Amino acid sequence: MESKPLCKTTEIEEGKSREFEVGNKKILVSNVGGKFYAIDALCSHMGGDLGKGKSEGHDVICPKHHARFNVQTGKVDKNINGFFKAMTRKEATDLKSYEVKENDGELSVEL
């Protein structure tokens, strides 16, 4: 595992998320109640960009078919609805989550 620098803690407001490209990965870093969490930023359903999704509590909502992921764990909180499931013959699956470290007001992620 390697620690990769991200940004200052003040650069992600509480209740918001921000996308980062780290190496060849896109990750989404979220501030929930002053704590920081990171998950893969590409939706496991059909690659929707969660960086463009809406943050709601500890969830981020995929802009494509509205699967909800818990940013603290990467787990699917609510899957796509039956219509999208029938259309795409696929559902969202849990995303990988990563540990975010805070040091002197700077955030880094363990990849």
Q: Comparing C-alpha atoms, which of 47, 69, 60, 74 is closest to residue 18?
A: 60
d(CA 12, CA 41): 15
Q: Give the one residue of 32, 58, 60, 64 binding ligand FES; rule: CB under 6 A.
A: 64
Q: Give the one residue of 92, 95, 100, 109 binding ligand FES; rule: CB under 6 A.
A: 92
Q: Is 71 in the site for ligand FES (CB under 6 A)?
A: no
Query: How many residues touch ligand FES (CB under 6 A)?
Result: 11
Binding segment (CB under 6 A) for ligand FES, from list 8-16, 22-30, 64-72, 96-104: 64-72
| Min dist. Cβ of residue 46 to ligand FES (A) | 4
Q: In residues, how long is the chain?
A: 111
Q: Which two tokens stand for residue 4?
A: 């990769």
| Min dist. Cβ of residue 88 to ligand FES (A) | 7
> Looking at residue 101, what DSSP letter applies?
E
73: left (phi over 0), alpha (psi -120 to 50) or beta: alpha
Please list every residue from 10 through 49 that binds ligand FES, using CB under 6 A.
43, 45-48
Q: What is the CA radius of gyration of the chain?
A: 14
Which residues in this chain contact ligand FES in the complex, by CB under 6 A? 43, 45-48, 62, 64-65, 67, 80, 92
